[in-house]
Amino acid sequence: MANTVDKAKIKEAAQAKKRETYVPVVPDMQLGFIHNNVDCIGCRACEIACKDKNGLPPGPRFRRVQYVEGGTYPEVYAYKINMSCNHCAEPACLPTCPTGAIFKRQKDGIVDIDSTLCIGCRRCEAACPFGAPQYNPELNIVQKCNMCVDEIDAGRKPYCVMGCMMRVLDIGPIDKLRDGTHETKARAPHESIVRQVKNMADPELTNPSIVFVAHSKGRVK
Amino acid sequence: MRSALVISVASGLFLAIAALNGAIGPGSFGAPGGAQAAETAQKPAAKPVAAKPGDPAAVDYLRAQWNPIHFKPAIDKATDADCLGCHQEIGKAKPRDASPAGVKAADTQAWYQTLDTYEGAQADFHWRHISSPFAKQVMNLSCTFCHQGNDPREESPHVTATDGKGAIQTAWERNEPPFTLRKMVNPSETCLRCHGAFPATSMGLEGKWHELREGMESPDAPNGCLTCHADQFRLVRHQVNYLRPDAIEKLAAAGSSDTCFGCHGGRAWYRISYPYPRHDWKDMPTEIPDWAKDRPKQSDARFLTKTK
């Protein structure tokens, strides 16, 4: 823990960096998610596995499966979008944090919140374009998905991926997921990959590390 | 539904409580005042919420959550007072005094909190946009500027912000959705306007502002932006009802470039810059730069001020 001298130094350092905007960590390799919107059956096993792993009460949802339904008979459709934290290349949450609780790992680009440093100002929650940071009203702090870093460090996949019975959710190096060279069950060889689906915030804002196999009604442009 | 009996009055109960409480939250957390508030007050009352006194414990939570005021079209007519009637918590939210590990809020400072315009302790996000001293001077944000709808079921506009045919209803130009997946706002149309990157490339400048400014500012001319923006470039700006254009220019002329930089790169959460409209200005060059070819020449119609 920082002693008082360090705290004074932190303030000084902040002053010295006046008007310097934040420069994101460029990870050695960026991990990201892939989700197949079409084959997902919406069982929410991933959500529950996540809640279980993180001991979350009702309310905060690190991961959320969204049901998108529409059309008029006979042309009806339904598909799912599944997002947690997208571990963005240039996260919007990180620069808003006044205590340095949010950080991005050099090793794999995972964005994590050290909740013990969180003062619950909720700025990260507001700034995130994808609704990832979740407010915990009981503790008055914000928490979010960290891709189960402990599992990653142990060479395994996160709980949500392990819980997915349809194998429509997976992780991998995002570059390889994007160019289709990463082997995954979430995408069939003929299926193409997109960065954004309908009604999702513009990926240009933060360059999120997620790709989708989109439903025909969920395509943008 | 918790109790069918309370339904008829349920949705209005909180409103009355707010009225009794008078001032809401820190600062003057009422309607942000000014011309816009006066204007909205004169509109015929199309209020989906009836103000009736009662017992807040009897309010049906689910019913209030699904109150039509949260959705199109009623949300477009809602005033801040309507929203605050139920959402007083917005003005009361406060960060912790210390983090669970003991980091004191008073001991921390973010990079953007070193701007000359910054005042006060670590505070809530809503307070900073509506009631902070600087916010009150330079802008006039109403709840519905940011909140164009909400969807308690799927956090997706396709459920609650569509017309009979399933087409998204939006007040944003460019057909942007009223809010995006898992959000209560559309960040590209709201936050990005004031929290985008410093648009150096549009200005033909290279580098970061903290370096660039060094050659442009002096103690008698502390605002380097005005070196170029006082009488050369893009002189028609900020003529929208969610900003206070005269106050911005006055503060900027008297203060440092942080007044301008704050909204144009000094609090940049996003890696891009908002594609601002490009208003004609006096003696502007006739040639249009490539990046500006698709830019509108006017601010969004719904924000135009009457005086223009």
Cα dihedral across residues B154, B158, B163, B166: positive or negative:
negative
Question: Do the chains contact at B181 and A20, CB–CB below 8 Å?
Answer: no
Interface of A with B in 128-147 (CB under 8 A): 129-132, 139-141
Question: Do the chains contact at A201 and B154, CB–CB below 8 Å?
Answer: no
pLDDT above 90 (res B27):
no
Question: Do the chains contact at B213 and A130, CB–CB below 8 Å?
Answer: no
Rounded distance, CA B193 to CA B197, Å?
A: 10
Question: Do the chains contact at B111 and A141, CB–CB below 8 Å?
Answer: no
Strand pairing of A141-143 and A134-136?
Answer: antiparallel
The minimum CA-CA distance between A175 and chain B, rounded to whole Å, is 19
Residues of A in contact with B105 (CB under 8 A): 98-99, 119, 121
Domain residue ranges in chain B: 193-303
Average predicted confidence (pLDDT) for chain A = 94
Using only C-alpha atoms, what is the Rg of chain B? Answer: 22
Rounded distance, CA B90 to CA B24, Å?
A: 9
Question: Do the chains contact at B154 and A122, CB–CB below 8 Å?
Answer: no
Strand pairing of A31-36 and A210-213?
Answer: parallel
pLDDT above 90 (res A14):
no
pLDDT above 80 (res B14):
no
pLDDT digits (tens, 9 = 90+) for B199-218: 999 999 988 998 888 888 88
pLDDT digits (tens, 9 = 90+) for B82-100: 999 899 888 888 999 999 9
Rounded distance, CA B298 to CA B277, Å?
A: 6
Question: Do the chains contact at B95 and A126, CB–CB below 8 Å?
Answer: no
The minimum CA-CA distance between A67 and chain B, rounded to whole Å, is 7
The minimum CA-CA distance between A190 and chain B, rounded to whole Å, is 27
Interface membership of A22 toward B (CB under 8 Å)? yes
Question: Do the chains contact at A131 and B183, CB–CB below 8 Å?
Answer: yes
pLDDT at res. A3? 58
Q: Give the confidence band of B3 by pLDDT, cuts at 50, 70, 90.
A: very low
Q: Give the confidence band of A4 by pLDDT, cuts at 50, 70, 90.
A: low
pTM: 0.91
Class of domain A29-88+145-213: alpha beta
Q: What share of chain B has pLDDT > 70, as a percent?
A: 80
Interface membership of A219 toward B (CB under 8 Å)? no
ipTM of predicted complex: 0.92
pLDDT at res. B81? 94
Q: Give the confidence band of A19 by pLDDT, cuts at 50, 70, 90.
A: confident
Domain residue ranges in chain A: 29-88+145-213
Comparing A134-138, B9-13, B46-50, which segment has the lowest mean pLDDT?
B9-13
More confident residue, A107 or B13: A107
Average predicted confidence (pLDDT) for chain B = 82
pLDDT at res. B306? 66
Interface membership of A81 toward B (CB under 8 Å)? yes
Rounded distance, CA A111 to CA A108, Å?
A: 9
Which SS3 state, helix, strand or coil, does residue B218 take? strand
Question: Are A172 and A29 spatial neighbours (Cβ–Cβ below 8 Å)?
Answer: no
Question: Do the chains contact at B156 and A199, CB–CB below 8 Å?
Answer: yes
pLDDT at res. B214? 84
Interface membership of A221 toward B (CB under 8 Å)? no
Q: Residue B307: exposed, middle, or buried by beta-carbon count in 10 A (0-12, 13-18, 19+)?
A: exposed
Residues of A in contact with B192 (CB under 8 A): 205
